[in-house]
């Protein structure tokens, strides 16, 4: 995910959670689960799955899908063609903005040329400047952690490649990077609580400092800035630098390199061994708000066609890998769920709409824009007519792992409904409901205006340890069995939501939340 770092915030007391999950009368929990329809969904999903072919197209063929880049547009055009071919209607791009300028990396070559030659694993940060062909310079190690450090390096960085972070000690991997949730893990998730109330997070660092440091380095005449990846074993986690603002002139290349290479270079410099690197980086900027859109498509309903059930995930990615687990996986699952529903021939009373969002990695921007346009602005909570027509929204954005349950986002009233919908999938490991919130992805845009929005609980696999925003976020990290079963579960939940007599129950409307500056 996304930007997609998960956090959970307890929204109600434990006693109330048990009241919602356990004590409701059986009559209030009665759901007409259509097992015949679920059989057809399973048959279509397991016997004729397209999900891994969708994955390969999005990742292998189209690659990274940074918002504002031509690559995301090419991938979107392919996705729309596929969904139209399956029989979806109203398939289109819905532009949104403002976002700022686009950016795409075409070449990043980093080499050590002295005292010895060796290749370096490194990636340009998004929206950073490139070079005008190959550039050679000596390395200066300047771990600038605060404004007080500026004086130490004044007059020492002109014409240098500056290494600004302190190398880490890298621990051996005595435990596997990838894992699945145990029953105990799922029980903990169901009861886990973050003691901080909503909105109480505090940051104990100066958010303006990185910009001040870049201004200092530019003034001092540095040629490029390097930092160390938080990963190891050659895994490089890289996101954004520079600026999307078209009024801001790109300053210098910003490069994140593998920890093993970073540490070696710093150790040589600390031994007074001069190190010279050569870099060749080609980055292209694109006009502001070009290639900025969400993708939508529908399966029309029957007698309740004016009401909507939505499913979705973010379509954009970072650029280091091919955005496989974050979030081609979620996009492919949701596209496959729509294909299953259409190919199964099942009739649905409500219209089912898919939303594939861009700008998630920069702050849920695409889904927020969509919700504001169609349902309500959280700043004012002035509701639009469509607000009353959305039954619920289901999201996938936690990697390739199998679906194990649902985060209820504090919505007590859906617990008995979802518990019965899960029954046909217990043998697939879907057993848990968590009353807690989970953050960092697009269901929050819907929840922010009082609409039922849910994220599925998934096995972590190696999402946080290896793939999330890294150069290892590629097709090979995808777990095919998990990917085949996830669209089946999503399609079944969407089908049941589309056909129940009542829309899904809602929490009380939130208070307006004006933007904070």
Cα torsion angle, 290, 294, 299, 300, sign: negative
CB 69 within 8 A of CB 102: yes
Neighbours of 438 (CB within 10 A): 25
Residue 17 pLDDT class (50, 70, 90 cuts): very low
Q: Quote the CATH superfamily of domain 33-99+291-319+327-407+442-464+483-499.
A: Zn peptidases (3.40.630.10)
CA distance 217 to 228: 17
pLDDT of 454 reads 98
Q: Which residue has the tokens 């009373």?
A: 349
Question: What would the mean pLDDT of 474-490 be, rounded to a whole number?
Answer: 98
CA distance 480 to 482: 5
Beta strands in 21-97 (DSSP E): 89-95
**Structure-block tokens of residue 161:** 């490649």
Taking only the tens place, the pLDDT of each residue in 93-102 is 999 999 999 9
Q: Which residue has the tokens 């302190």?
A: 166
- For the chain, what is the radius of gyration of the CA atoms? 24
CA distance 291 to 102: 8
Instruction: Work out whether strand 118-119 and strand 102-114 pair parallel, antiparallel, or are unpaired.
Output: antiparallel
Fold of 102-186+200-286: Glucose Oxidase; domain 1 (3.50.30)
Share of the chain above pLDDT 70, in %: 91
Residue 226 backbone class (left: φ over 0; alpha: ψ -120 to 50; beta: rest): beta
Taking only the tens place, the pLDDT of each residue in 109-158 is 999 999 999 999 999 999 999 999 999 999 999 999 999 999 999 999 99
Q: Where are the domains of the chain?
A: 33-99+291-319+327-407+442-464+483-499, 102-186+200-286
pLDDT of 515 reads 77
Which residues make beta-bridge pairs with 119? 111
User: E strand or H helix at 259, and its extent?
Assistant: helix 259-270
pTM: predicted TM-score of the whole model, two decimal places: 0.93
SS3 assignment for 149-214: HHHHHCCCCCCCEEECCCCCCCCCCCCCCCECCCHHHHHHHHHCCCCCCCCCCCCCCCCCHHHHHH
Taking only the tens place, the pLDDT of each residue in 342-385 is 999 999 999 999 999 999 999 999 999 999 999 999 999 999 99
């Amino acid at each position: 995910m996304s930007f997609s770092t998960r956090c959970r915030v307890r929204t109600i007391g434990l006693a109330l959670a048990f009241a919602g999950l356990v004590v409701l009368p059986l009559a209030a929990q009665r759901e007409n689960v259509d097992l015949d329809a679920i059989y057809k969904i399973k048959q279509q999903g397991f016997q004729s799955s397209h999900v891994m072919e969708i994955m390969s197209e999005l990742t292998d063929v189209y690659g990274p899908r940074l918002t504002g880049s031509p690559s995301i547009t090419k991938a979107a055009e392919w996705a729309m063609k596929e969904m139209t071919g399956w029989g979806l209607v109203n398939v289109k791009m819905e532009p949104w903005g403002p976002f700022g300028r686009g950016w795409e990396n075409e070449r990043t070559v980093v080499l050590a040329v002295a005292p010895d030659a060796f290749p370096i694993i490194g990636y340009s940060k998004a929206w950073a400047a490139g070079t005008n062909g190959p550039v050679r310079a000596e390395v200066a190690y300047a771990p600038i952690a605060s404004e007080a450090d500026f004086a130490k390096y004044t007059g020492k960085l002109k014409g240098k490649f500056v290494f600004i972070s302190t190398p880490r000690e890298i621990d051996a991997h005595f435990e596997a990077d990838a894992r699945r949730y145990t029953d105990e893990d799922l029980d903990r998730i169901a009861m886990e609580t973050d003691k901080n109330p909503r909105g109480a997070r505090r940051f104990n660092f100066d958010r303006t400092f990185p910009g001040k440091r870049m201004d200092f380095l530019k003034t001092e005449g540095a040629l490029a800035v390097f930092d160390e990846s938080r990963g190891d074993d050659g895994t490089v986690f890289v996101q954004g630098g520079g600026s999307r603002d078209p009024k801001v002139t790109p300053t210098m290349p910003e490069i994140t390199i593998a920890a093993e290479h970073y540490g070696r270079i710093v150790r040589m410099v600390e031994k007074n061994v001069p190190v010279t690197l050569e870099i060749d980086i080609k980055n292209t900027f694109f006009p502001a708000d070009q290639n900025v859109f969400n993708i939508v498509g529908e399966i029309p309903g029957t007698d309740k066609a004016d009401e909507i059930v939505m499913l979705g995930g973010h379509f954009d990615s970072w650029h280091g890998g091919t955005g496989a687990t974050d979030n081609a996986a979620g996009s492919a699952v949701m596209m496959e769920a729509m294909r299953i529903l259409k190919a199964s021939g099942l009739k649905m009373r409500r219209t089912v709409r898919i939303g594939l969002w861009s700008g998630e990695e920069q702050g849920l921007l695409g889904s927020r824009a969509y919700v504001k346009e169609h349902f309500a602005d959280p700043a004012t909570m002035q509701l639009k007519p469509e607000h009353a027509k959305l039954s619920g929204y289901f999201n996938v954005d936690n990697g390739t792992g199998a679906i194990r349950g649902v985060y209820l986002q504090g919505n007590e009233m859906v617990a008995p409904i979802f518990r019965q919908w899960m029954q046909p999938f217990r043998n697939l490991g879907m057993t848990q409901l968590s009353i807690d919130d989970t953050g960092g992805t697009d269901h929050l845009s819907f929840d922010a205006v009082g609409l039922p929005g849910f994220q599925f609980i998934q096995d972590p696999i190696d999402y946080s340890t290896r793939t999330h925003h890294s150069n290892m976020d590629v097709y090979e990290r995808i777990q095919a069995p998990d990917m085949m079963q996830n669209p089946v579960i999503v399609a079944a939940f969407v089908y049941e939501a589309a056909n129940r007599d009542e829309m899904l129950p809602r929490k009380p409307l939130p208070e307006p939340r004006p933007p904070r500056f």
